[in-house]
Every structure is written in structure tokens, then in C-alpha cells.
Amino acid sequence: MKIGTFVRATGIGLILLFAVAPILVLILAAFDEGRFFRFPPRGLSMRWFIAAFESAEYRASVTRSVVVASLATVISVGLGGLAALGLVRGRPPGQAYLEALILAPLALPLVVWAIAFLQVLSYSGLGGTLFGLILAHVIITLPIAMRVILATFTRIDPDLEAAARSLGATPVRAFLRTTLPLARGGIAGAAALSFLVSFNDVVVSTFVAGAGWVTFPVRLYAQLRGEGIDPITLAIGAMIVGVIIVGAIATELWPRRRGR
Amino acid sequence: MRSPREAGGGTSLSPTLSLLFIAPAAILVLAAFGLPFLLLLALSLASPVEGSLVPDMSNPTLAAYSRILGDGFYLRTLATTLAMSLATAAGCLALALPLAHWLARRAGRARRVLTAIVLLPLACGALLPTLGLVHLLGPLGVVNGTLRGLGLIASPLPLLGTQLGIVIGLIQAFLPFAVLPILAVLDRTPPVIEEAAITLGATPARLWVRIILPLAWPGLLAGGLLVFCSALTAFVTPQIVGQGKVATFAMLAYQQALQVLDWPFASALAVTMLAALALAAVVTFSLARLRP
């Protein structure tokens, strides 16, 4: 039995290694000092990270990604939160259909939609505009934001709000002082997830982004298809992965208020 | 325990007010997502106009579809793509089942950290893992460098630019899609079932075939369908890992939409993909009744 346990743990370890290998290699390659990564690396250096900060072009594309992702996140969390509230607290006619409609972009293939959306945008004169790009990003982040916030609202005990109201609070005030503070973590999670999905999106953006709004993933994809890998993009990629890992660790270690 | 959603404790909104809350999101998705989807079929029947992006919609034609069905190239590419998607789904499930089963038996921080490791590539989007993958599988990459260092191979294995490399890349990209549904199903099954089987003398092989596999079956189907659909419509990983040497169906649609600018044909390719996905869903739902 002991040997069986050891074999299983090794097998699971190998599967986990397989899963994260591309990310680990990305980080290693970013520190390779050569222009073309080779394994084992000949020397490690920070030069591509320094070059990344010095490159105005890459800085601009990352900034564009941040702007697009921020706008998409604000809109998605706002509209998604409002819709989640309507679904949790109201009995609108066709409730299940409305929920399924807003969640539909999660279930249907985005490439197929992007091919259609590209044409609709173009025919309505919005092709290649920032508006079109933001709209596309909102479509992919809104269902994620709504789903997370909906799950959060559903878990919060409505009796707390009832108690606040029985103590004389108006409905709006009762919501703002009991349910909303309890939902803060879930709303922050919805925002983080929306931002991540929008920031990393290449599938939809590559169809919709115009020449004026080339985000970092779109720029990277074009470069990978054409001229090959620029080591600066490895450094930027490694930094993005670093931010994601630090964010995840911070969330895990954040002191949680236990109990209700 | 009553579900908070059913309980009457919270402030409830009138149907009109709740509709007002839902309307902005619903109208946006309907207009920007639903409408283009519905228009796709019509767009695929238009005929392209030379020198213009706006096609002629006045006399619908099936020309694009007869081109897909009549040309061996498109059908061959479709067959290749379906085969690679099946291989990806099978590979993901083979890795995801033991992984999810193992995760389902952990608890607390260990489980959260391990799950986060599994989900990390997903959180990094489609491109960054692919960027690492090129250096993992390339002629001078980690796999070939290690094998050569160990003296196992003389010349590098061709992994980039091959179907095998693409399937490895797709398995890595979509593994979380297979792990999560299986994990969700196994979480709902009490561990005492397996303990009882072991107490009653089940061998490990029998335990997996007779107990764990049937328990995980709905999760395997859901995960398999999700991975298959994602692999079928993927174009980023096949393009980068395949180095343009292997054509997949979604790549063709991408080229027609953004490089050739033949939008009616791109639309027809997209509709064909959608039909293949619908077929896959039907097959999966009929498999659901064949629970082992």
C-alpha cells in the first residue's frame, strides 16, 4: 500500500507539472540572456525585463490593454451586479430565460460569434473603434461578473436585511448596510475575474480590435504568427504571470472574517 | 434548510423593478451577442462583392456551402480538426480523472493551492501558456534539450509544427475544463462509498472501473464535451504550436475573415463549426444514458 501511495503521488505530481510546464518555461525563458532561448540556458539575466520597461511600443500596448480591461470591468460589474440583484430579489416573468440569456456567451463558441460580430460592427460603421472593442469585451466579461455576483447574493442570508428593516431602516439603506458589505468580497472577485479575462483576451479582440487599439495580446499574437518570438514579450508575459500569482497568494492570505 | 433565494427575509423587488434592473444587461447581450448569432446564417448565404467588404444580400446562395463540401481540402481539414479535438478530449479526461479524484480527497489550504495551480494556465489566457509551450516543445526547447542532454536522442523530436505538438498544446490549454466538472461531481459523492468497496475487498482496478468511473461519468461527459468544443474552435494554439504547417478548421475561418476578407465564406465556415458542435452535444447527451 505504501508503494501504491508513492506511485500515485508521483503520477499526480507529473500531471501537475505537465499542467504548469508552459508557465514555468515562460518564466525561465524570460530570464535567458540570449535572443533565442535554448535549454539548458547559457546564462540568466534581467536584460529583457529592463528592455520591456524601456520599450515605448510595448508599454503603450499594455496600457491599452489595461484601459480596455478597466472599462469593460466597470461596465460588466455594474450591469452584471444590477441584473444579479434583479434576479435574486425579484420574481420577473421569464426569470430562468433572462438568466440563461445573459449567461449565453459563456456557453457558445466565441470564435463563431466573433466572425458574425466583426461583420455587424463593420456594417454599422463601428468596425475598428474603441467602442466596438469595449462592447466585445463586455459581452465576454458580463456573464462572468453576473454569475459570480449572483452566487454571492444567493449565499447571503436575507434575514439580516429583514432584521435591519425591522429596526427601521429603509429598504435601500438596509440593503446598503447589510447585504452590500457582505457581498464586497464576491463583487471584488467578479471584478478581478472580468479584468483578467478581458486583459488576456485574444480570441475575440483579434477579430474586433482596429489598428488604433492593438492590445498587448493582439500585438503578441500578430508577432507570433509573423516574425517569431521577441524576448521582450517573454519578459512582459512573465511579469503578467507574476502579478496573477501574487494576486492569488494575496487573496489566499487575506484575513477573512469568519462566521456570520 | 431553506435556500436564501426562496426565503422572504430580504427586500424583494416588484416584477417591474426587477425587470428594469435586468434589462440593461439582457438587452446588451441580446443585441450584441444574440443578434449577430442569428444573422450569421443569413450572412453565410450572401455573395461577396469584388473590392467591397459589404456582400450582396439580395439573392441568397448556397455557394459557400457547396465550396466547403465540394472541395476535398475543407473536408480533410474538418476531419483532421475533429480527430485532433477527439484526441485532446481523450487526453484531457485521462489526466483529469486521477487529478480530480485526488483533489476531491484533499481539504483546506492544500486543496485551494493545488486547485489554483491547475487553474493557473487558464488565468493566464490563451497566449502566455502558448508562448511557454513554444519553448517547451521547440527544437532547442526544454523537452528536446533534456532528452539530448541525457543522450536519448541525436536529433530533436519534431514537436512544433506537428499534429502531436498541437494536441499536447491543446491538452495543456484545456485541462482545467476537464478537471472542474469531474471535481464538482466527485465532491458530491461521499468517500465512504469507496471505503466500503475497499473494505469489501475491491482491487484498485475494480475500484476504478466499478466505482469511481460510474460516479464520475456525468463529469467526464461534461468535461469531455467542453474540451472537445474548445479544441474544435481553437485557432491560437494550433496556429502558434503548428507554426502554420497544420491547418485546422477554425484557422481557416480566421484566415477567411481577417486575411482573405471573404466574409460570406467565413460565415459559412463558422456555421459548419456550429453544426459540428451541435452534433457533438447530441452524441454526448445520448452517451449520458449509457452510464457504465
A229: confidence class by pLDDT, cuts 50, 70, 90? confident
Residue B241, domain extent: 84-248
| Cβ neighbours, 10 Å, residue A257 | 7
Is the pLDDT at A198 greater than 80, yes or no? yes
Q: Answer yes or no: is pLDDT of B107 > 90.
A: no
Q: Which of B29, B40, B103 to mutate to test the interface with A (most CBs of A within 10 A)?
A: B29
Task: Give the architecture-level CATH label for domain A56-253.
Answer: Orthogonal Bundle (1.10)
Show residues of chain A in contact with B116, CB under 8 Å: 248, 252
Q: How far is A121 from chain B (nearest CA, A)?
A: 9
Dihedral-angle region of residue B3 (phi above 0 means left; psi in -120 to 50 means alpha; beta otherwise): beta
CA B41 vs. chain centroid, Å, equals: 23
| CB pair distance less than 8 Å for B35 and A139 | no
All residues of chain B having their beta carbon less than 8 Å from the beta carbon of residue A6 are none
Report which of B250, B99, B230 is spatially closest to residue B169, judged by C-alpha positions: B230
ipTM value > 0.95? no
| Phi and psi, residue B55, nearest 5° | -80, 170
- Residue B30 counted as domain residue: no
Residue B54 is assigned to a structural domain of this protein: no
ω into A40 cis (within 30 of 0): yes
Number of other residues whose CB lies within 10 A of the CB of residue A216: 26
Among the listed residues B49, B74, B51, the one whose alpha carbon sits nearest the alpha carbon of residue B59: B49
> Amino acid identity, residue A46?
M
DSSP conformation class of A211: G
In this structure, is residue B219 part of a structural domain? yes
Residues A232, A235: Cα–Cα separation, whole Å: 5
In A90-169, which ranges are continuous DSSP H helix?
A: 95-107, 110-123, 130-155, 158-166
Which cell numbers in the block locate residue A219? 500585438
**Which three-class secondary structure state does DSSP give residue B64?**
helix
The dihedrals phi and psi of B148, each to the nearest 5 degrees, come to: -70, -40
Mean pLDDT of chain B: 89
Tell me the three-class secondary structure of A31-68, residue by residue: CECCCCCCCCCCCECCHHHHHHHHCHHHHHHHHHHHHH
Number of A to B CB contacts under 8 A, please give it: 305
| Cα distance between residue A153 and residue A148, in whole Å | 9
Q: Which helix (H) or strand (E) element contains residue A30?
A: helix A2-30
In a domain, B64, yes or no: no
Cell of A29: 525563458
pLDDT of A79-133, one tens digit each? 999 999 999 988 888 899 999 999 999 989 999 999 999 999 998 888 889 999 9
B221 domain-assigned:
yes
B108 forms beta bridges with none
Q: Which of A80, A109, A146 sits opposite B229 (nearest CB)?
A: A109
pLDDT value at position B238?
Answer: 95
Is position B16 within any domain? no
Domain count for chain B, please give it: 1
Q: How confident is the model over B164-183, as pLDDT tens digits? A: 999 999 999 999 999 999 99
Residue of A nearest to B134 (CA): A22
The Cα B233–Cα A115 span in angstroms is 12
Nearest alpha-carbon partner for B237 in B129, B96, B144, B82:
B129
Nearest Cβ partner for B33 among A16, A139, A155: A139
Number of Cβ within a 10 Å radius of residue A67: 14
**Chain B residues with beta carbon closer than 8 angstroms to that of A102:** 22, 25-26, 29
CATH code assigned at B238:
1.10.3720.10
Sign of CA pseudo-dihedral B76, B78, B82, B85: positive
Q: Do residue B7 and residue A196 have CB atoms under 8 angstroms apart? A: no
B213 CB-contact burial (10 Å; exposed 0-12 / middle 13-18 / buried 19+): middle
* B28-38: pLDDT as tens digits: 999 999 999 88
Q: Give me the pLDDT at residue A242, please.
A: 95
Q: Where are the domains of chain A?
A: 56-253
Answer yes or no: do B128 and A241 touch at CB < 8 A.
Answer: yes
Average pLDDT over residues B89-102: 96
CB A232 within 8 A of CB A51: yes
Residue A155 makes CB contacts below 8 A (sequence gap 6+) with A186, B4
Looking at the partner chain, which of A11, A89, A159 has a beta carbon nearest the beta carbon of B13?
A89
Phi/psi-derived region of residue A156, left when phi > 0, alpha when psi is between -120 and 50, beta in every other case: beta
Q: In the prediction, which pLDDT does B198 show?
A: 86
Instruction: Tell me the pLDDT band of A38, cut-offs 50, 70 and 90.
Output: confident
Check CB contact under 8 Å for B11 and A196.
no
Residues of chain A with C-beta less than 8 angstroms from the C-beta of B134: 224, 229
Share of chain A above pLDDT 90, in %: 60
Least confident of A138-152, A225-239, A245-259: A245-259
Report the distance separating Cα A160 and Cα B6, nearest Å.
15
